[in-house]
Amino acid sequence: MKYKVIAIDGPAGAGKSTVAKRLSIKLGYTHIDSGSLFRAITYIVIKLGIDINDVEAIIHHTKNSTIDFMNNSIYLNGVDISAEIRENTVNTKVSYIAMIPEIRDIVVNIQRKIAANKNVVVDGRDIGTTVFPRAFIKFFLTASIEERARRRYNELLDKEKFTLEEIKKQIIERDYIDTNREASPLRQAEDAILIDTSGKNVDEVVSEMLYYISIKGEV
Ligand code: DC
């Protein structure tokens, strides 16, 4: 592989995106937040009022849309939707969209295209297992359910509408769907390094990763 891929997988709220972003800046790599691609497609479904069971319509509208990453923002048909994809309406539907094999194929292709000519840090659920099985290094991040729920709750823009308990329930449900779906379920790759981020701050986790990367060789 000419360019390097650093794969980071794990359940919701394990700290993947924050850590991936920081790591990518430290290494001068491009960060691909694959969850944001599934979120962008979910946003299309909500915005157009497509029935979540109407797989054909979801595929059709996804194929007719342009999704781009630029400077850590995500654009749908040229419009920045970085804030919208973090809304809780997207949180509650995204796992259903991510179950659709054809949608997964589209998202895999977007990621591989970006990684074809640059070094990347990619975070998601199936990066080390399906998208980049030959990645330079693979990490699997996890954390206690309490900590993951707290992080996701703090991230919400419209916190006042939800309790921490509700968010915790949603995460448990999402993890269940992500882990038990047929197409590329969430699971730790055999050669992934497991890091429990409970009680650790971003710098501590990034330092740990940089240590493992340095053992692997030049980046
Ligand atoms: O990491 P996140 O919460 O932004 O991810 C949103 C959803 O997208 C998550 O519930 C599962 C799905 N996802 C996936 O199936 N595969 C990926 N590589 C990334 C995310």
Is 186's pLDDT higher than 70? yes
Q: Which residue has the CA at smallest separation from atom 10 of ligand 1?
A: 95
Q: Beta 193-196 vs 137-142: how paired, if at all? A: parallel
Tally the domains of the chain.
1
Q: Is residue 187 part of a domain?
A: yes
> Residue 200 maps to which CATH number?
3.40.50.300
Q: In which band, very low, low, confident or very high, does the pLDDT at 161 lie, cut at 50, 70 and 90?
A: confident
Residues with CB under 6 A from ligand 1: 12, 34-35, 38-39, 94-95, 98, 124-127, 174, 178
State residue 75 phi and psi, 5-degree precision: -120, 135
Q: In which band, very low, low, confident or very high, does the pLDDT at 55 lie, cut at 50, 70 and 90?
A: very high
Ligand 1 atom with least separation from CA of 131: 18
Q: Is residue 106 part of a domain?
A: yes
User: Rounded to the nearest whole angstrom, what is the distance from the C-alpha of residue 98 to the centroid of ligand 1?
Assistant: 7
Helix (H) or strand (E) holding 141: strand 137-142
Structure tokens at 190: 């055999």
Cα–Cα distance measured from residue 119 to residue 110, given in angstroms and rounded to the nearest whole number: 15
pLDDT for position 18: 94
pLDDT for position 210: 97
Q: Is residue 105 part of a domain?
A: yes
Order of strands across the sheet with 79-80? 67-70, 73-76, 79-80
CA 154, 94, 126, 169 torsion: positive or negative? positive
pLDDT tens by residue, 106-145: 999 999 999 999 999 999 999 999 999 999 999 999 999 9
pLDDT tens by residue, 65-77: 999 988 789 999 9
Cα–Cα distance measured from residue 144 to residue 142, given in angstroms and rounded to the nearest whole number: 7
Q: Is residue 73 part of a domain?
A: yes
Is 191's pLDDT higher than 70? yes
Mutation pick for ligand 1 pocket among 21, 41, 43, 94 (CB with most ligand atoms within 8 Å) = 94
Is 155's pLDDT higher than 90? no
Q: Is residue 219 part of a domain?
A: no
Q: What is the pTM of this model?
A: 0.93
pLDDT for position 218: 64
Integer-rounded Cα radius of gyration of the chain:
17
What is the domain range of residue 198? 5-213
- Which residue reads 């699997």 in tokens? 140
Can you state the angle between helices 16-27 and 202-216, rounded to 10 degrees? 50
Q: Is residue 86 part of a domain?
A: yes
Q: Is residue 218 part of a domain?
A: no
Q: How far is CA 191 from the centre of its chain?
A: 19
Q: Which residue has the CA at smallest separation from atom 9 of ligand 1?
A: 95
User: What is the residue-averaged pLDDT of the chain?
Assistant: 94
